[in-house]
Structure 1
Amino acid sequence: MKFALLGIFAASSLALGVAVSHSAAEEAPAENASPIYGVTIPEGYRDWKFIAPAQEAPPLDELRAVLGNDIAVDAYKKGTLPFPDGSILVKLAYKRKQSTEFAPATVPGAPTTVQVMVKDSKKYPDSHGWGFGRFVDGKPVDIAQHQTCLSCHVGNVKDHDYVFTRYAP
């Protein structure tokens, strides 16, 4: 009986240790997390739904595509503002270049950034519920570049829950 109780205690302790180390790992900052917010590039985002295109004029001269997870897409379709927690938007940006096959056409060139917005009002109360991440070659940009995300959104689109992109039907 003592051995059985010791076995149960050992198994329980091991399970607790695994649970504690798992939750500690979730709280630890990821190597590829954005400064300030700790946002990472979401797994599987390339399979998300298309929200809208965008084009940036020079000096950026970029083509952009905005994708959203199911929560964000549903909010867009229903016109829900503010966006619900769990909404994630990803903007893919590419240098714009002229098509070699059809001169009037513009096509994506080299990728420039992946930008991520995550809605979590509890985790990001000081930034109106949004966490931001900007990544080049899968790595977060430095903190000076990253600090401009919130100020640009606050200065321009506060009446649309700090989101620039509108849904393209």
Structure 2
Amino acid sequence: MFSAFVLLGGAMGFLGWSQSRPAAETASCYKPEYTASGDLMLPKNFERWIYVGSPLTPNALNDGKANFPEFHNVYIEPCSYDEYKRTKAFPEGTILFKELQLTQDQEFPDGSRTEPSGRGYFPGKLNGADVTVKDTKRYAESGGWGYYNFNHHEPKATTAKVKARSECAYCHIASAKKDDVWTQFYPRLDD
């Protein structure tokens, strides 16, 4: 009887802890970090952020010359995501992290290959990262967003300089669906 009570008491204590834990935890929002010279520092722990999608533009479907020949695994900082879902607007300080990942070697002319799940395109090695930050004052001349490249190869650079409007922003301004973000490719953001 005593052991059953101890076990039950322990289980009840565990259940009470696990149910009240989220309320006790405070979500910490990750804000962009810059060096003294104004370069963006590579965001930390992005892989724990909200995953929004992975467009793919392989070389094999673009005459061997895709501008971005990888899966674009895109994540958004969780507090920014929560605010976006609540207001339908990207808040100041939003960070979108695009991890670049090549496809595995092709078997067929279209770049696809066969794996146990079938014929398709399969993720290969990591190939760097791009990061976008919303700050309408800092990036006023590029539509309110700053665009950074942390190498198009691994390992990722630890800091990056903002890209000129003509390198990234112009395409986002001209073609992205909402607030210079390609929400049309990310169902979690396209409501």
Give your verdict on TM over 0.5.
Answer: yes
- How many residues matched? 135
Secondary structure of 1:133's aligned partner:
strand
Partner residue in 1 for 2:133:
118
C-alpha offsets along residues 87-118 of structure 1, whole Å, 9 cap, x if unaligned?
A: 11001111112465445142211222311011
Equivalent AA in structure 1 for residue 55 of structure 2: A
Contact 1:99 1:107 in 2 (8 A): no
Contact 2:146 2:162 in 1 (8 A): no
Equivalent AA in structure 2 for residue 118 of structure 1: V
Equivalent AA in structure 1 for residue 169 of structure 2: L
Equivalent AA in structure 2 for residue 149 of structure 1: C
Please state if 1:84 is matched with 2:103. no
Please state if 1:95 is matched with 2:129. no
% identity of equivalent residues: 25
Listed as ranges, the gaps of 5+ residues in structure 2 are: 1-33, 60-64, 105-112
More helix by share: 1
Listed as ranges, the gaps of 5+ residues in structure 1 are: 1-25, 31-37
Partner residue in 1 for 2:182:
164
C-alpha offsets along residues 115-153 of structure 1, whole Å, 9 cap, x if unaligned?
A: 101111222222222111111232267888985111211
Structure with the bigger RCO (C-alpha within 8 Å, sep 6+) is 1
Please state if 1:69 is matched with 2:77. yes
Contact 1:133 1:146 in 2 (8 A): no
More strand by share: 1
Instruction: Tell me the C-alpha RMSD between the 2 structures.
Output: 2.9
Residues 54 and 28 of structure 1, relative CA distance in 2, 3 Å threshold: same
Q: Which stretches of structure 1, 4 residues or longer, exceed 3 Å deviation after superposition?
A: 98-103, 140-147
